[in-house]
Amino acid sequence: MGRITAISSQRRNPDRYSIFIEGEFVLGIDKKTVEDMDLRVGKLVDEKDLKKITSQEELNKAQAYALMLLGYRERSLREIKIRMRQKGYEEKLVEKVVKYLKDRNLINDKRFTQLWAESRIKKGYGRWRIQSELEQKRGE
């Protein structure tokens, strides 16, 4: 394909970079992808490398989306999977993100169940309603 001739931060979002190969814009990617793929000016890239870069970018976006969801509140494994599928992420990518989250103990159905039940008890919900909600959240 060619050699990377420039990597420049984008005006509207300085955490995103434009990649130029042989002087022509090829793609815009996240700072994390630039670091993960060790991209630098002068590096030779081919079509295979570009596919790796775009798949790494997609993985980083999916992970960021899942982390954003978890930033609002604790979620069950099932909830994360459903929301990611609704967003249009492929099943293979969803599974990679779930593994990433599990490896870092960011999703834990047992912890989710405990926290959900405690919050519902504080709101005065009954046992059967809490149990019903949890079954929906966990997909039982």
CATH code assigned at 43:
1.10.10.10
The torsion angles phi and psi of 119, rounded to 5 degrees, stand at -65, -35
| Pair (113, 97) in one structural domain | no
Q: pTM of this prediction?
A: 0.81
- The per-residue pLDDT for 137 is 78
- The per-residue pLDDT for 139 is 64
- The per-residue pLDDT for 87 is 95
Q: Which of 12, 52, 11 is nearest to 34 (CA)?
A: 52
* Complete edge-to-edge strand list for the sheet that includes strand 44-45: 24-30, 16-21, 2-9, 44-45
Q: Distance (Å, rounded) from C-alpha 132 to C-alpha 24?
A: 56
Residue 25 CB-half CA count within 13 A? 8
| Pair (63, 117) in one structural domain | no
| Pair (100, 114) in one structural domain | no
DSSP string, 42-101: T-EE-HHHHHHHHHHHHHHHHHHHHHHHHHHS---HHHHHHHHHHHT--HHHHHHHHHHH
Q: Distance (Å, rounded) from C-alpha 85 to C-alpha 97?
A: 12
- The strand pairing partners of 17, in sequence order, are 9, 29
Range of the domain at 33: 2-107
Which positions of the chain have pLDDT values less than 70?
Answer: 139-140
- The per-residue pLDDT for 2 is 86
| Pair (118, 75) in one structural domain | no
Give how many domains the chain has, as a whole number: 2
| Pair (102, 122) in one structural domain | no
